[in-house]
Amino acid sequence: MTRPAPPFTLTDLHGANRTVPAPGPGPGARPALVCFIKEDCQTCNLAAPVLEAFHRDFAHAADVIIVGQGEEGGRVFAERHGLTAPVLADADCAVSFAWDFEIVPALFRLDAEGRIVDSLEAFFREEWQALDARIRADFDIKGGGVDWDGLPERRPGCGSKHLDPDINDRLQAAAADSPIRARRIEVGASDDVAEFMFDQGFSDGLPLIPPTPERVLRMLRGTSRGAQEIVAVVPPNMAPATVEKIAINAVMAGCRPDYLPVVIAAVEAVCTDAFNIHGVTATTMGASPVMVINGPIRDRIGVNSRLGALGAGSRANATIGRAVRLVVRNVGGGRPGGVDRSTLGSPLKFTMCFGEWEEGSPWEPLHVERGFARTDSVVTLFAMTSGPVQIVDQESRGPDQIAGSLGMGLEAMFLPKLHRMQTDALLVVCPEHVRTLFSAGDYSKARLRQRIQEVTSRPLREMVADAASGAGLQPAAAAKLSPDQLDALAPKFADEKFIHIVVAGSDAGKFSSAFFGWVTGAAGSTSVSRRIETD
């Protein structure tokens, strides 16, 4: 079956341009033999005398062209074998990519219409000899010839250079059917790329990985979703975030391709009306998404839920959270000094992402509590203003004691005088504290929440603003309340549903942590979970 030969023009070793298929003296193209080679391929070197014999015998009837791959473009190959056949330099391997073969030497016969009528890869003597015979018969060529008996029956070839991963990714990205459509920014040869990205405002303050087309293409292979599919509209600029744009920011953040489905799901979540990333970004309190990952994908991509889960050292934890923040910044326009009006800012605005240690938890995992199957991979996002704040209790031995300490740690949220808060808190209970909670039997999350509310309940009169602190219930409002009303106990949270509980951390150490939230509900942000689409 014939197919048109992809036309190309390359420079030979003497600096002259050669075009294939070459125009003939009449209508159509001149017949040709085109062979792609690599200089370090033993089979290509074995075939060199054969190619030179073809050039000698067939030159009057057809062009015999050797295409050398790589920067040297066959120069050493030609000198090594004393070739008189023209050798063209496919320096960037773009022509090899267009001709779509796998093994060198790759030999193609073109007819007078520029169609490929024969193709051979590697060296099988019988096939090469049969091709030689067909050409001789077609053009009535006599004399000369190749000493076929002196050649081995077969030799495996080498992988074509255009299939090297780095080269192939670059060629795929530049191809006409490339999924990459984002505007390309040219960086001057003398410019420092890292400094250029800082200057352009792409960075969160830390160095970025340059999102070259080949890196973006590799990142896109982490999902089966189309590159131009719109995942979400990102506030505050209400800009569409395509899979490609998310992939670009994931590259800059340092993600691996298998992290991309998590980043996509997280972007979907933060851009919902319920999560309200516009408000989260704009508040002067300095709120930012905190991500908890559940399900099988944790182990598959290496999300840390154990030692140091809330800190440094895990690529997945650090870069997934950072990628989401970069999407909000670079796609949505949520930058400090613009819409981001945080008074002090927060380290959470760089990244915060960790996995729940489901295997070490006696409770249902977070995502199961929220209606997903245990086998689902899920990311849950909370809008948090501060944390992680350590809650230290190395002395308590009773379940209610530990639960009480956890509650006291949460009472510090914002200010101890502020109670009945409609604000989420994310409590991260360490394994040693979990074991103490269950030391006398089952200790449900509901019981823990109830205990937190018990130990944080204070008479409302203690919430009245005074000389020590002007925060809290204002005196004018307190004056309208009866003594019984002022003696009524007010728990820290307006409802137990605002207390979210997960397990993480190493086996050693009685140190739990908490994240303190922003305003919850329609006036603020509601936590959102999304199933992670994996192939």
Q: Tokens 């959102």 label which residue? A: 528
* Half-sphere exposure (Cβ direction) of 26: Cα atoms closer than 13 Å: 3
Q: Is 389's pLDDT higher than 70?
A: yes
Cα–Cα distance between 492 and 412 in angstroms, integer?
9
pTM confidence score? 0.82
Cα–Cα distance between 516 and 386 in angstroms, integer?
5
Out of 176-185, 234-243, 391-400, least confident range: 176-185
- Which architecture does CATH list for 3-163? 3-Layer(aba) Sandwich (3.40)
Does 246 or 534 have the greater pLDDT score? 246
Chain centroid, CA 198 distance in Å:
20
- Residues linked to residue 116 through DSSP beta bridges, in sequence order: 3, 110
Model confidence at 247, pLDDT cuts 50, 70, 90, reads very high
Other beta carbons less than 10 A from residue 350's beta carbon: 15
| 3 state SS of 354 | strand
Q: Is 367's pLDDT higher than 80?
A: yes
The residue extents of the domains of the chain are 3-163, 193-456+491-531
Cα–Cα distance between 181 and 150 in angstroms, integer?
53
Cα–Cα distance between 154 and 132 in angstroms, integer?
16
Q: What is the pLDDT of residue 6?
A: 94
Q: Which amino acid is at 56?
A: R
Q: Is 29's pLDDT higher than 90?
A: no
Q: What is the pLDDT of residue 465?
A: 93
Q: What is the pLDDT of residue 27?
A: 65
Q: DSSP alpha helices (H): ranges in 331-398?
A: 366-369
* Strand-by-strand arrangement of the 63-69 sheet: 3-4, 115-121, 106-110, 32-37, 63-69, 87-90
Cα–Cα distance between 123 and 9 in angstroms, integer?
26
Closest CA to 264 of 357, 331, 355, 177: 331
Cα–Cα distance between 524 and 279 in angstroms, integer?
7
pLDDT tens digits, 400-440: 999 999 999 999 999 999 999 999 999 999 999 999 999 99
Q: Tokens 């030969």 label which residue? A: 5
Strands 8-11 and 353-355: unpaired
pLDDT tens digits, 48-88: 999 999 999 999 999 999 999 988 889 999 999 999 999 99
Cα–Cα distance between 430 and 504 in angstroms, integer?
6
Q: What is the pLDDT of residue 511?
A: 97
Q: Is 16's pLDDT higher than 90?
A: yes
Model confidence at 26, pLDDT cuts 50, 70, 90, reads low
Percent of the chain with pLDDT over 90: 89
For residue 515, give the H/E element and its range. Answer: strand 511-519
Cα–Cα distance between 431 and 99 in angstroms, integer?
59
Distances (CA, A) of 98 to 4, 41, 215: 11, 21, 20
Q: What is the pLDDT of residue 188?
A: 85
Mean pLDDT of the chain: 94
Other beta carbons less than 10 A from residue 411's beta carbon: 20
Q: What is the pLDDT of residue 182?
A: 81
Model confidence at 131, pLDDT cuts 50, 70, 90, reads very high
Q: What is the pLDDT of residue 181?
A: 74
pLDDT tens digits, 149-161: 999 999 999 999 9
Model confidence at 178, pLDDT cuts 50, 70, 90, reads confident
Model confidence at 268, pLDDT cuts 50, 70, 90, reads very high
Does 46 or 144 have the greater pLDDT score? 46
Cα–Cα distance between 322 and 344 in angstroms, integer?
19
Chain centroid, CA 354 distance in Å:
16
Q: What is the pLDDT of residue 357?
A: 98
pLDDT tens digits, 458-514: 999 999 999 999 999 999 999 999 999 999 999 999 999 999 999 999 999 999 999
